[in-house]
Chain A
Amino acid sequence: MRPELIVAEKEFRDHLASKRFLIIFVILMLLSFYGVYSGMDAYNKKLDQYKNPALVMDQPYMKELVNSLQKQIQDAEARGDSPESIQDLRDQLNSYTNPPMPSVLEVFNSMVIFFTFLGMILGAAMGFDQISREKDEGSLKFLVSSPIYRDAIINGKTIGAITTLAVALAAAFLLAIAIVMLRGVVPGLDDLLRIAAFFVAALLYCTVFFAIAMMMSAVTKSTSLSVICTVGLVVLLIVFSILALIVSGFIAQAIIGPAPAMDYGALMNNSTGSMNVSSIMSNSEYMNYSNKLVAAEFQISDTITTVSPVNDFGGFMGLGMGGIGNAILSKTPVQSLSLTMVMTPSTKQISLLDSLASVWVKIMVLIVEMVVAFAISYVAFMRMDIR
């Protein structure tokens, strides 16, 4: 057997038997179960609404929304706005009046948030002591004095960890598919392809954190220092995402300019004391400004946070919107945010390749980050004096 496979086999067994892995794995399975189960309820509700549109369209807020959109279209036509912006509004209206049949992928969409946070913890937890633990315990001396190249050791450790991650993720995915099928929904070929692509993306995402944690393990002198650095980096990424949002708000404001003058007193509903949403939405100048501002802010924030694997996979603040996971599991284009801070549905269907193309930069960033982290681990381990 090749030396890297000997190391990988041992690492795989060790991971599967480790309490740390088992605890995270159990949490992952429970959250997957919860996510899919609740996702199935939401899916069934949407299916009912699709079969019986009157259930939704008779709701007062929906009537108000549709009326507002119709008015916006009329105003836009009257102003002579560009055909694209008018078509966008029409698409929005169409998505409410003729919603597409819900996809089973929406069930998996609910898992993106869990995978974003648990995948990060799982990958980091498996990597932070890969080298340093053996260094601390002294077993690295025996391992390195064995007739194998050092790269075989690091390759073996990586293969073992990625295999373990793949098994953990596959178990969560199979559980999800099993629940979906038990509830009477059979995914189509495109759905299965997207689920498979999502699995690969989730594995890549976990591997990025594994690689970063392993890099910490190789460059630091002890496991405790490696833990501090790994946790520090994760916290830094979260703080960075929040800061990026604040900074992008200022930048967007500077680019778009000040808000149009508006009578804020008229916006208040005197009887309830709350904001009068229809009044805001009917103010097309303010709506245009707000949509532009939020879209710019989101775009800038998205660009800045591309360096963060959490944002790349999990989207905006790791909450799913605009990330790789969301793009793969959506048969419609990745959407921008509107004033109401909810996703504006689109009826336009795109292929899996188009979905992947829409987030190719983020995929590339994940791959580059993984490769760089592995390269640093390699160099540090190769040059390491084992004393």
Chain B
Amino acid sequence: MIRTENLTKAYGGVKAVDAINVKIEKGQVCGFVGPNGAGKTTTIGMMTGLIEPTGGKCFVKDMEVSRNPLAVKQAIGYLPDGFGFYSHMTAMQNLKYFSKFYGLKEPEANARIAELLGEVGLAGVEKKVGAYSRGMKQRLGLARALLNDPEVIFLDEPTNGLDPEGVIQFRKVIKAEAAKGKTIFFSSHVLDEVQHVCNTICIISKGKIMAQGTLEDVKKRMRKSPRFNIIVKVDRIMPKLANPDIIDAVYSDGSATIKASSDLRDFIFDEVVRSGLRMRELRLEEESLEDVFLETVYGGA
């Protein structure tokens, strides 16, 4: 549904996006993560036709963006980062103005706008957009991105400025759109958000794609050496463990978090029992997306 071929953007000789190849299939919800200045917004800008690539190609629904900008824009919905609305107009007036570009007839547009404003929790808000809070503007932005019932949705930092209720509402909307078979590509700094909503992930750093695929695929591929996080809880003071596979260990009164290069659960169990203690908990903790991200982008720093 979304495909790039050596997509590149350079500003003054510096490559903000460096020959990236991304492939997102129909119905996938892809989280596009990377540190600040990694090239996320520039990449989305090129995918939506707002930024002209310096090199390479970008396809949406098999249409090359720079050759078929109108057809692509007709098919996509886009929530940019740092967007704005016409502050002297109401939400309804703003959306009505944009709806005209999609050729929506007035009754059709009115119904669609009312439905969307209801979905994002702005139904019945009559004040001018200039008086909106940041969170309200973000919700309206999401409604704008969905105005044309797009097949492909690009969201750039969509939960910025949203309160917890707004975030939950946003997840609901995204999940509903994903359930309809829409393809969603969104960038975020909030890794937890990505984990909640996405079924695939794409990590970008310094303009290059570091990893992409399902969360599990990426974790597996990016793990340079096996790493196991083991949580141990005992009934008294946890004894210090000695094993060459232990990379790091944090002890507190009755518990410990062990990072090791192998699964040391049997060894830990034996040690605890030998010390005359009772085991309360012994489990292997799944590697978090944050760990994968840090490992991928900063080499585990």
- Does A147 lie within 8 Å of B52, measured CB to CB? no
For A385, the chain B residues whose CB sits under 8 A away are 45, 50-52
For B78, the chain A residues whose CB sits under 8 A away are 141-142, 145
B85 close to chain A: CB less than 8 A = yes
- Does B51 lie within 8 Å of A145, measured CB to CB? no
Which listed residue, A1, A6, A387, touches B51 by the CB 8 Å rule? A387
- Does B83 lie within 8 Å of A6, measured CB to CB? no
Quick one: which of B212-265 are within 8 Å of A by CB? none
For A387, the chain B residues whose CB sits under 8 A away are 41-42, 45, 50-51
- What's the Cα separation between A92 and B252 when bound, in Å? 111
B182 close to chain A: CB less than 8 A = no
Take A17-B88, A387-B42 as given contacts and tell me if A147 and B70 are in contact as well, using a CB distance cutoff of 8 Å: yes
* Closest A residue, CB atoms, query B49: A145
- Does B70 lie within 8 Å of A148, measured CB to CB? yes
- What's the Cα separation between A213 and B111 when bound, in Å? 40
How far is the CB of B61 from the nearest CB of chain A, in Å? 13
- Does A147 lie within 8 Å of B102, measured CB to CB? yes
Which listed residue, B73, B87, B88, touches A146 by the CB 8 Å rule? B73
A274 close to chain B: CB less than 8 A = no
Quick one: which of A121-170 are within 8 Å of B by CB? 137-139, 141-149
- What's the Cα separation between A139 and B69 when bound, in Å? 19
- Does B88 lie within 8 Å of A138, measured CB to CB? no
- Does B83 lie within 8 Å of A138, measured CB to CB? yes
A386 close to chain B: CB less than 8 A = yes
How far is the CB of A142 from the nearest CB of chain B, in Å? 6
B100 close to chain A: CB less than 8 A = yes
- What's the Cα separation between A137 and B137 when bound, in Å? 12
- What's the Cα separation between A145 and B145 when bound, in Å? 10
How far is the CB of A32 from the nearest CB of chain B, in Å? 28
* Closest B residue, CB atoms, query A3: B101
A14 close to chain B: CB less than 8 A = yes
B12 close to chain A: CB less than 8 A = no
How far is the CB of B4 from the nearest CB of chain A, in Å? 17
- Does A148 lie within 8 Å of B101, measured CB to CB? yes
How far is the CB of A138 from the nearest CB of chain B, in Å? 3
How far is the CB of A365 from the nearest CB of chain B, in Å? 34
For A138, the chain B residues whose CB sits under 8 A away are 80, 82-85
- What's the Cα separation between A160 and B222 when bound, in Å? 55
For B48, the chain A residues whose CB sits under 8 A away are 145
B267 close to chain A: CB less than 8 A = no
For B71, the chain A residues whose CB sits under 8 A away are 147
- What's the Cα separation between A144 and B97 when bound, in Å? 13
For A148, the chain B residues whose CB sits under 8 A away are 70, 73, 101
A45 close to chain B: CB less than 8 A = no
B66 close to chain A: CB less than 8 A = no
- What's the Cα separation between A141 and B137 when bound, in Å? 14
Q: Mark B67-100, 1 if CB is under 8 A from A, else 0.
A: 0011101101010101111111000000001101
- Does A386 lie within 8 Å of B50, measured CB to CB? yes
How far is the CB of B252 from the nearest CB of chain A, in Å? 47
For B100, the chain A residues whose CB sits under 8 A away are 1, 6
* Closest B residue, CB atoms, query A386: B50
* Closest A residue, CB atoms, query B93: A10
- Does B70 lie within 8 Å of A141, measured CB to CB? no
For A1, the chain B residues whose CB sits under 8 A away are 100
- Does B52 lie within 8 Å of A145, measured CB to CB? no
- What's the Cα separation between A49 and B52 when bound, in Å? 70
- Does B101 lie within 8 Å of A139, measured CB to CB? no
B112 close to chain A: CB less than 8 A = no
Quick one: which of A364-379 are within 8 Å of B by CB? none
How far is the CB of A38 from the nearest CB of chain B, in Å? 38
- Does B50 lie within 8 Å of A147, measured CB to CB? no
- Does B97 lie within 8 Å of A141, measured CB to CB? no
- Does A142 lie within 8 Å of B69, measured CB to CB? no
- Does B87 lie within 8 Å of A14, measured CB to CB? no
- Does A139 lie within 8 Å of B52, measured CB to CB? no
* Closest B residue, CB atoms, query A17: B88
Which listed residue, B42, B50, B84, B85, touches A144 by the CB 8 Å rule? B50
Of the A-B pairs whose beta carbons lie under 8 Å apart in the complex, a sample of 8, sorted by A's number, is: A137-B87, A138-B80, A138-B84, A139-B84, A146-B73, A147-B102, A385-B45, A386-B51
Question: Which 4 residue pairs spanning A and B have beta carbons closest together?
Answer: A138-B84, A137-B84, A146-B101, A147-B73
Q: Known pairs A137-B87, A141-B50; list 14 more (Cβ under 8 Å).
A: A1-B100, A6-B100, A14-B88, A17-B88, A138-B84, A139-B84, A139-B85, A141-B83, A142-B85, A146-B102, A147-B71, A149-B69, A386-B45, A386-B50
